[in-house]
Amino acid sequence: MEIGELIYQGKAKSIYKSDNDDELIALFRDDMTAFNGEKHDQFSGKGVYNATVSAFFFDYLEKHGIKTHFIRMIDEKTMLVSKLEMIPLEVIARNRAAGSITKKLPLKEGQVLNPPVIVTDYKDDAKGDPAVNDDLILALGLLTRDELNEARRTTLEINKLLYDFFDELGLVLVDFKIEFGRRGNEIILGDEISMDSMRLWDKETGESFDKDVYRFNKGDVMTAYARVVEKIINWKKEQIK
Ligand code: ATP
Ligand code: TYD
């Protein structure tokens, strides 16, 4: 597989052309950023951890009927994906209140949200990723009414699958962010599903196993990420017993 021209350098991943026009190569780098890039560091191994976990979840979701951009791994931090026309929305699902929502609304950190809450931010770093509701998504022409309904249904389905999976591992999936894109007239799950884009708490102790460890200097972030990878590997071993 030839890695082609760099077409986009994001905060955590670099996107390259591949030898097929319908496919792209996503390289998960070791860069870690928080607070819209204000905090920035590099952690050796981070790219591998996030690529491994993303690949695992794309595969897991595909097996449960969710369409994703994942094709295969090229090496342990490089993923071949289907090229999507990304929809500039961060779709966030929340099972418990944490982070920004507890600052804006009278919700306590850790408060259960039942039913789960889906919120959407318009992706524009310069504007601080403002929140948008369904009417604004339609007014901006980002999705049709049918696509909006489908994206919502798919997000709830993904949330249920991931929540139940982490529950088995002894972790609470507090919240996560996903991105969708278009391939022809289909809406497909793209980007990544990793410890960078979710909050995971230990069910018993409440300890964080995600980017909050880095955001709020709660300990060694790579130890936390490695624990999640280890739990997933152990889960896989159990499946083939
Ligand atoms: P943010 O962290 O706010 O998502 P970023 O652009 O810095 O922004 P990265 O993950 O570093 O994030 O960059 C990856 C980029 O590739 C994102 O803009 C994402 O929307 C885009 N992308 C992800 N999957 C695909 C795909 N299958 N086809 C095209 N673009 C994709
Ligand atoms: P949120 O509470 O909205 O933001 P913050 O992390 O600033 O408190 O985040 C909810 C979840 O979505 C959290 O797990 C982080 C993830 N997320 C991203 O990965 N990227 C983003 O741009 C945003 C807004 C959230």
Q: Which atom of ligand 1 is nearest to the CA of 177?
A: 4
108 CB-near residues (< 8 Å, 6+ apart): 97, 102
Q: Which atom of ligand 2 is nearest to the CA of 212?
A: 6
Q: Is the CB of 177 under 6 A from ligand 1?
A: no
pLDDT of residue 87: 98
Lowest mean pLDDT among 122-126, 209-213, 220-224, 227-231: 122-126
Distance (Å, whole) CA 74 – CA 218: 33
Q: Examine the pLDDT at 36 and tell me if it is beyond 90.
A: no
Model pLDDT for residues 143-166, shown as the tens digit of each residue: 999 999 999 999 999 999 999 999
Q: Which atom of ligand 1 is nearest to the CA of 190?
A: 24
pLDDT of residue 75: 97
Q: Is the CB of 207 under 6 A from ligand 2?
A: no
pLDDT of residue 241: 83
Name the average pLDDT for the chain. Answer: 97
Task: Choose one of 100, 125, 210 to mutate for the ligand 2 pocket test, by most ligand atoms within 8 angstroms of C-beta.
Answer: 100
Compute the average pLDDT of residues 63-85. 98
Q: Examine the pLDDT at 65 and tell me if it is beyond 90.
A: yes
> Would you say the C-alpha torsion 143, 146, 150, 153 has a positive or negative sign?
positive
Task: Choose one of 78, 122, 191 to mutate for the ligand 1 pocket test, by most ligand atoms within 8 angstroms of C-beta.
Answer: 191
Instruction: Read off the pLDDT band of 125 (50, 70, 90).
Output: confident
Model pLDDT for residues 166-199, shown as the tens digit of each residue: 999 999 999 999 999 999 999 999 999 999 999 9
Q: Examine the pLDDT at 206 and tell me if it is beyond 90.
A: yes
Q: Is the CB of 13 under 6 A from ligand 2?
A: no
Q: Examine the pLDDT at 122 and tell me if it is beyond 90.
A: yes
Query: b/e for 165-192, b at 16 or more Cβ within 10 A?
Result: bbeebebbbbbbbbbbbeeeeebbbbbb
Q: Is the CB of 191 under 6 A from ligand 2?
A: no
Q: CB 51: neighbour CB atoms within 10 A?
A: 24
Among all bound ligands, the one having the nearest atom to the CA of 92 is: 2
Question: What's the 176 CA to ligand 2 centre distance in angstroms?
Answer: 7
Which domains are delineated in the chain? 6-82 (3.30.200.20), 85-220 (3.30.470.20)
Compute the average pLDDT of residues 51-71. 98
Q: Is the CB of 84 under 6 A from ligand 1?
A: yes
